């Protein structure tokens, strides 16, 4: 395992042969620190195949502060929650059912409503929670993100309208690559997080993240994840 913090940035890169274990340990550490500092832990989940093993590992952590955890989703497809392509269903089967998180501690993107209605409903929920806490924006303690082979993250795909959104926290986004609409967190919401963690496993995406680290990948949406006052971590499986 190698871990280093890049000079001049708030980015830490952690390359490991123990991807799932390292990710689980990292999330647990962030959760305990948040609960100690603020008596709550706000966690945003990513979808796709990479994090499923991590979520299953979290379910086995005996002392995880689930009673103080609020879970959100960084993006979602426009399907009902029991659909096989639903990010919510993946998380539910991987760990949410096992840890029995109450519904009021889960902010689900309701993909069955369609992209725009689901985005609006999710943003209303987040704004309400932020207002209750006296915040200008809902600041996650930890946002988990994946990255696609085109450099997308959440459902922020190259050359799509959501990339230029500066006001909304959650938006619908048409993705020509798949000819479908998605629901996604926007840069303003993601970059308000105290910490963002990319989970990237395997070597196929190495040219993309190495270009981002070198400052040559600004055309990739993932390159524009830059928490305003927080930290960015990359856990990369070898």
Domain harbouring 149, CATH code: 3.40.50.1360
Determine, yes or no, domain membership for 197.
no
Determine, yes or no, domain membership for 235.
no
Determine, yes or no, domain membership for 66.
yes
pLDDT at 229: 83
pLDDT at 1: 56
Determine, yes or no, domain membership for 192.
no
- Look at the chain and report how many structural domains it folds into: 1
pLDDT at 204: 87
Quickly list H helices, the chain.
Answer: 19-38, 52-59, 87-91, 97-99, 115-132, 187-190, 206-214
pLDDT at 10: 86
Global model pTM greater than 0.75: yes
Q: In what order do the strands lie in the sheet containing 180-185?
A: 75-77, 180-185, 170-175
Determine, yes or no, domain membership for 4.
no
Taking alpha carbons only, the member of 234, 231, 59, 40 closest to residue 146 is: 234
Range of the domain at 58: 14-184+211-226
pLDDT at 7: 45
- Which residues have a Cβ under 8 Å from the Cβ of 222 and sit 6 or more positions away? 145, 147, 151, 152, 153, 156, 198, 208, 209, 212
Determine, yes or no, domain membership for 232.
no
Mean pLDDT by 10-residue block, N- to C-terminus, for the chain (238 residues)? 61 96 98 98 94 97 97 98 97 95 97 98 98 97 96 98 98 97 98 98 92 96 92 95
Determine, yes or no, domain membership for 204.
no
């Amino acid at each position: 395992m190698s871990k280093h913090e890049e000079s001049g940035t708030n980015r830490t890169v952690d390359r490991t042969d123990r991807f799932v274990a390292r990710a689980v340990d990292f999330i647990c550490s962030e959760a305990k620190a948040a609960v100690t500092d603020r008596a709550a832990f706000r966690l945003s989940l990513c979808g796709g195949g990479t994090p499923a093993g991590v979520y299953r590992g979290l379910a086995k952590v005996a002392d995880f502060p689930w009673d103080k955890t609020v879970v959100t989703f960084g993006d979602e497809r426009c399907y009902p929650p029991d659909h096989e392509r639903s990010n919510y269903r993946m998380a539910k089967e991987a760990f949410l059912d096992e840890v029995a998180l109450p519904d009021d501690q889960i902010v689900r993107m309701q993909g069955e409503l369609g992209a725009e209605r689901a985005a609006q409903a999710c943003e209303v929920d987040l704004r309400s929670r932020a207002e209750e806490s006296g915040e200008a924006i809902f600041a996650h303690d930890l946002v988990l993100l994946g990255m696609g082979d085109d450099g997308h993250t959440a459902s922020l795909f190259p050359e799509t309208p959501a990339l230029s959104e500066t006001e909304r926290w959650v938006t619908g986004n048409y993705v020509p690559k798949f000819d479908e609409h998605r629901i996604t967190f926007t840069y303003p919401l993601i970059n308000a997080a105290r910490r963002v963690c990319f989970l990237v496993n395997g070597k196929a995406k190495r040219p993309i993240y190495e270009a981002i680290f070198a400052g040559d990948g600004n055309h990739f949406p993932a390159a524009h994840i830059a928490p305003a006052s927080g930290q960015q971590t990359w856990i990369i499986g070898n």
